[in-house]
């Protein structure tokens, strides 16, 4: 158990160094004068631009030699001092606090929704392999997996917001705005988890201990609940670790497409605006969310399967 | 194309049929992507504002977009771009991935540890995040997109090759072959390649599907290839505001992406359930 957590801590460190180094190099190699760009963004391109750029250069320390800047950069990262946004001038950490809340709501809602949809379909399909529910589940899963998340988001937007008019197409505020993006992600996640559950249930249903539980006279519901679910849950939960990748990538895409003001949306905007401190802050936050989800999956696997705890 | 080798000789009629459908679909799409831009004379960038949102079946076979550009030409060029770029990315990821995997399994020691470390560094972040960070260097350019995708995709090839080769090399018949004086080239050709080839073919199809999804997604969220390029993802987003007037026009590029990814995933079906 401790080994898992240590590995995840190391992973978090690697995430910080990779993101920090890439962003620092990015800052150095971008064509054009960063100070000039920032000054133009803040004050508008006019005749006084050169003077304004010089002031910006001094204010942000863009005139020092690069090894000094790099060490300072990493030291700041370790202290969670992420600097100020080059566009709005506000501290990155303040902006992240707002966006992080929005993104965490979205990720949690999507994960929860996918766990309601996927395993339920998987259990129904797995208890009767090759039955009509199984085939329908397979067809749905194959279709959903071939749809990139941005297309799925657009389709759901057309159906629920334009045709049916039940939900707002974009925005943030109540659960109504949360519904579309989280459903998009949940369907993508459930497409895989339903099949994993189906395989797991089918395997468990064939196992000798399952047959024994039936033969000793337990009612069917008790057999499934007591001997089926927990054993079948092991591969499903450990597969969630892989799905964390889909979740984090999906958050970026779906937030951008459905204009949901979270970290993914901010990351894409920061890249377009070349707001490097924001790119760094948002990428770091997304990376750490990814590490946290995987660590959570590790812990859940260890709780479900005592064999892992001894390792 | 190397994907052909993915066909299993085992008799599994249901799986095989899904694969056959996938392969047929893939062949048809590849033909459209390769022959289309060559046979269709229309320039995908030529605008004809008089024919804005021309309906399907008129002067333009598949209609025209809001600038009056031929949709058929744009779809063909978009398919070529997606397909070609996915293939190029897959090859760039597969060749070093397989090579490093073989070297790591063969030599072990510090070489293996170094590659493992490299793979773990790449895997610490979700793939798309790495691509996005590299794209920040030059948004809208082909180079960082290609580099980022290849950088994230090689790991899977490396890991599978290394793990499989390492198990093969430990088996007694390999030791016997070595004792009989057969060199590494012979062992590689006759004992390693036949086992890893189908796995690699499956991975290659998945890698291409991942690349196609990533390319279209990134241009749809406006950090990938930029609008004048006939790219399927950006075509969808460009045409979406005209959905009310021309719904089928929006659907065409979407269906093309869907079919491309579907064909690749069907071809990549695993034999075992």
Give tens-digit pLDDT for A73-127: 777 777 777 767 766 767 777 778 878 888 888 888 888 888 888 888 888 888 7
B122: pLDDT strictly greater than 50: yes
* Domain membership flag for residue A87: no
Assess whether A72 and A121 both reside in one domain: no
Mutation choice for B interface testing from A20, A146, A196, A266 by most B CBs within 10 A: A146
Backbone angles phi, psi at B33, to 5 degrees: -70, -35
Mutation choice for B interface testing from A148, A196, A200 by most B CBs within 10 A: A148
Interface membership of B139 toward A (CB under 8 Å): yes
pLDDT of residue A300: 82
pLDDT of residue A1: 62
pLDDT in tens, A140-194: 888 888 888 888 888 888 887 777 767 776 666 676 777 788 888 888 888 888 8
The answer to which of A1-5, A157-161, B146-150, B255-259 has the lowest mean pLDDT is A1-5
CB contact under 8 Å between A248 and B126, yes or no, is: yes
What is the separation of C-alpha A221 from the centre of its chain, rounded to a whole number of angstroms?
35
pLDDT of residue A34: 67
Largest Cα separation within chain B, whole Å, is: 77
pLDDT of residue A125: 85
Assess whether A24 and A101 both reside in one domain: no
Q: What is the pTM of this model?
A: 0.80
Is A252 in contact with A268 (CB distance < 8 Å)? yes
Assess whether A24 and A99 both reside in one domain: no
Assess whether A9 and A133 both reside in one domain: no
**What is the rounded distance in angstroms from the CA atom of residue A230 to the CA atom of residue A235?**
10
Window 207-266 of B, Cβ < 8 Å to A: 213, 216-217, 220-223, 233, 236, 240, 243, 254, 257-259, 261-262, 265-266
CB contact under 8 Å between B136 and A274, yes or no, is: yes
Distance from the Cα of A217 to chain B's closest Cα (Å) equals: 30
User: pLDDT confidence of B52, banded at 50, 70, 90?
Assistant: low
Count A/B contacts: CB-CB distance under 8 Å.
Answer: 111
**Segments forming the whole domain that contains residue A19:** 2-78
pLDDT of residue A276: 77
Assess whether A69 and A98 both reside in one domain: no
The answer to which of A58-67, A157-166, B93-102 has the lowest mean pLDDT is A58-67
CB contact under 8 Å between B121 and A22, yes or no, is: no
pLDDT of residue B264: 87
More confident call, B229 vs B62: B229
Residue B80 burial (CB count, 10 A)? 19
B10: pLDDT strictly greater than 70: no
CB contact under 8 Å between B221 and A154, yes or no, is: no
* Domain membership flag for residue A158: yes
Which residue, A103, A96, A111, A105, is CA-closest to A284?
A96
When the pLDDT of each residue in chain A is averaged and rounded to a whole number, the result is 79
* Domain membership flag for residue A220: yes
B102: pLDDT strictly greater than 80: yes
pLDDT of residue B1: 35
Mutation choice for A interface testing from B13, B138, B153, B220 by most A CBs within 10 A: B220
CB contact under 8 Å between A252 and B254, yes or no, is: no
Assess whether A133 and A236 both reside in one domain: yes
Interface membership of A271 toward B (CB under 8 Å): yes
**What is the rounded distance in angstroms from the CA atom of residue A27 to the CA atom of residue A50?**
20
Assess whether A159 and A276 both reside in one domain: yes
Q: Which residue of B has its CA nearest to A241?
A: B126
**What is the rounded distance in angstroms from the CA atom of residue A219 to the CA atom of residue A204?**
17
**What is the rounded distance in angstroms from the CA atom of residue B119 to the CA atom of residue B96?**
12
Assess whether A192 and A234 both reside in one domain: yes
pLDDT in tens, A211-222: 888 888 888 888
**What is the rounded distance in angstroms from the CA atom of residue A253 to the CA atom of residue B128?**
10
Assess whether A183 and A299 both reside in one domain: yes
Interface membership of A26 toward B (CB under 8 Å): yes
Q: What ipTM is given for this predicted complex?
A: 0.76
Average pLDDT over residues B22-46: 77
pLDDT of residue A264: 83
What is the separation of C-alpha A169 from the centre of its chain, rounded to a whole number of angstroms?
21
Assess whether A27 and A49 both reside in one domain: yes
A72: pLDDT strictly greater than 80: no
Q: Which residue of A has its CA nearest to B125?
A: A287
B5: pLDDT strictly greater than 50: no
pLDDT over 90, % of chain B: 3
pLDDT of residue A126: 81
Largest Cα separation within chain A, whole Å, is: 89
pLDDT of residue A171: 66
B7: pLDDT strictly greater than 50: no
* Domain membership flag for residue A86: no
Q: What is the dihedral of CA A123, A124, A129, A134, to 10 degrees?
A: -110
More confident call, A51 vs A267: A267
Which chain A residues are within 8 Å of B254, Cβ to Cβ?
151, 154
Assess whether A258 and A291 both reside in one domain: yes
Give the count of domains, chain A: 2
């Amino acid at each position: 158990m401790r080994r898992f957590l240590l590995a995840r801590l190391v992973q978090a460190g690697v995430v910080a160094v990779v993101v920090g180094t890439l962003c620092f190099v990015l800052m150095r190699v971008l064509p054009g004068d960063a100070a000039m760009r920032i000054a133009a963004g803040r004050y508008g391109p006019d005749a006084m631009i050169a003077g304004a750029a010089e002031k910006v250069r001094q204010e942000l320390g863009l005139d020092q030699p690069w090894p000094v800047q790099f060490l300072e950069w990493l030291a700041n990262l370790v202290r969670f001092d992420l600097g100020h946004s080059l566009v709005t001038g506000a501290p990155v950490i303040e902006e992240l606090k707002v966006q992080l809340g929005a993104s965490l709501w979205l990720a949690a809602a999507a994960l929860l929704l996918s766990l309601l949809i996927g395993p339920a379909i998987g259990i129904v399909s797995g208890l009767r392999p090759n039955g009509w529910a199984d085939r329908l589940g397979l067809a749905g899963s194959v279709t959903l997996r071939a749809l990139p998340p941005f297309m799925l988001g657009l389709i759901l937007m057309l159906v629920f917001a334009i045709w049916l008019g039940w939900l707002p197409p974009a925005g943030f505020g109540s659960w109504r705005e949360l519904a579309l993006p989280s459903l998009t992600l949940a369907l993508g996640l459930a497409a895989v988890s339903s099949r994993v559950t189906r395989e797991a249930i089918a395997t468990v249903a064939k196992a000798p201990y399952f047959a024994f539980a039936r033969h000793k006279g337990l009612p069917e519901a008790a057999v499934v609940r007591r001997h089926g679910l927990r054993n079948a849950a092991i591969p499903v939960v450990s597969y969630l670790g892989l799905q964390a990748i889909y979740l984090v990538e999906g958050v970026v895409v779906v937030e951008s497409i459905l204009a949901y003001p979270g970290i993914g949306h901010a990351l894409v905007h920061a890249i377009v605006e070349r707001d490097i401190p924001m790119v760094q802050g948002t990428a770091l936050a997304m990376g750490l969310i990814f590490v946290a989800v995987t660590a959570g999956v590790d812990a859940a696997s260890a709780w479900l399967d005592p064999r892992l705890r001894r390792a | 194309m190397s994907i052909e080798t993915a066909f299993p000789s085992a008799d599994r009629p249901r799986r095989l049929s899904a694969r056959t459908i996938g392969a047929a679909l893939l062949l048809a799409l590849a033909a459209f992507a390769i022959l289309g831009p060559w046979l269709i004379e229309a320039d995908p960038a030529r605008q004809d504002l008089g024919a804005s949102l021309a309906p399907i079946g008129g002067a333009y076979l598949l209609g025209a977009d809001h600038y009056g550009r031929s949709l058929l030409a744009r779809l063909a060029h978009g398919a070529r771009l997606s397909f070609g770029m996915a293939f190029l990315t897959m090859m760039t990821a597969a060749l070093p991935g397989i090579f490093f995997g073989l070297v790591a399994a063969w030599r072990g020691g510090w070489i293996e540890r170094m590659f493992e470390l490299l793979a773990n560094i790449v895997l610490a972040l979700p793939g798309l995040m790495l691509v996005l960070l590299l794209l920040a260097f030059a948004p809208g350019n082909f180079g960082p997109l290609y580099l980022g995708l290849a950088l994230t995709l090689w790991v899977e090839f490396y890991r599978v090759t290394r793990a499989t080769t390492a198990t093969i090399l430990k088996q007694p018949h390999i030791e016997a072959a070595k004792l009989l004086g057969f060199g590494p080239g012979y062992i590689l050709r006759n004992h390693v390649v036949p086992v890893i080839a189908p796995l690699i073919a499956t991975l290659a199809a998945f890698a291409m599907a991942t690349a196609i999804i990533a390319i279209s997604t990134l241009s749809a969220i406006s950090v990938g290839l930029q609008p004048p390029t006939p790219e399927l993802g950006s075509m969808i987003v460009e045409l979406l505001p005209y959905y009310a007037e021309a719904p089928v026009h929006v659907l065409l590029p979407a269906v093309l992406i869907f079919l491309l990814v579907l064909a690749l995933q069907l071809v990549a079906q695993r034999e075992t359930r």
